């Protein structure tokens, strides 16, 4: 097993990864693991049977990838992959970037090079087609009906968790 990890609380993240059978990972298990990480990260895990890469909900440590001739190329910088494969400029993404300063969706300035969006991961299992899955979605518009006392308890727990993390 080869693990590349960027971010905070590396020891805690590695403990979570090491406590599981990596060869038996599936989309649901990866989602649960990544959702349980309460810090900024970018992670790549490689074994003979599977490969996955994920980023936190803010995409603090971006990961770019492409598939070429049954090989996956991955890097924290898209231009490294672009230089390696002599990629062409994606004209549609270039226009979007010139107008807004951002590309759209998983796209980058280069054709066939994608990024892993915030709160998402890439999974390739047994040399199958790559799967991109979202494990986190910020959804503030869903109203949850709870009593004032329940909300007060939840707020207290969240404040205590924040203070524990700061300490």
Q: What is the mean pLDDT of residues 149-165?
A: 92
What pTM value is reported for the model? 0.81
When pLDDT is cut at 50, 70 and 90, the band that residue 136 belongs to is: very high
List pLDDT tens digits, range 86-100.
999 999 999 999 999
Please give the pLDDT value at position 149.
94
Please give the pLDDT value at position 138.
84
Alpha carbons 126 and 146: distance in angstroms, whole number: 45
List pLDDT tens digits, range 114-126.
999 999 999 998 8
Residue 73 has pLDDT above 90, yes or no: yes
Helix-then-strand count for the chain, H and E: 5, 8
Please give the pLDDT value at position 74.
94
Please give the pLDDT value at position 16.
80
Alpha carbons 27 and 105: distance in angstroms, whole number: 21
DSSP 42-71: EEEEE-SSEEEEEE-TT-SS--EEEEETTE
List pLDDT tens digits, range 16-71.
887 788 777 889 989 998 998 888 999 999 888 888 999 999 999 999 999 988 78
């Amino acid at each position: 097993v080869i693990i590349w990890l960027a971010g905070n609380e590396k020891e805690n993240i590695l403990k979570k990864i090491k406590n599981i059978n990596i060869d038996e990972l599936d989309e649901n298990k990866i989602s649960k693991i990544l959702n349980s990480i309460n810090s900024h990260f970018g992670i790549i895990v490689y074994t003979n049977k599977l490969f996955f890469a994920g980023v936190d909900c803010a995409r603090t440590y971006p990961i770019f990838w492409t598939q070429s001739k049954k090989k996956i190329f991955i890097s924290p910088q898209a231009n490294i992959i672009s230089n390696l494969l002599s990629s062409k400029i994606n004209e549609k993404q270039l226009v979007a970037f010139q107008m807004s300063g951002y590309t759209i969706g998983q796209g980058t300035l280069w054709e066939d090079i994608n990024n892993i969006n915030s709160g998402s991961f890439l999974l390739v299992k047994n040399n199958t087609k790559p799967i991109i899955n979202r494990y986190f979605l910020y959804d503030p518009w869903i109203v949850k009906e709870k009593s004032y006392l329940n909300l007060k308890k939840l707020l207290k727990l969240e404040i205590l968790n924040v203070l524990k993390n700061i300490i």
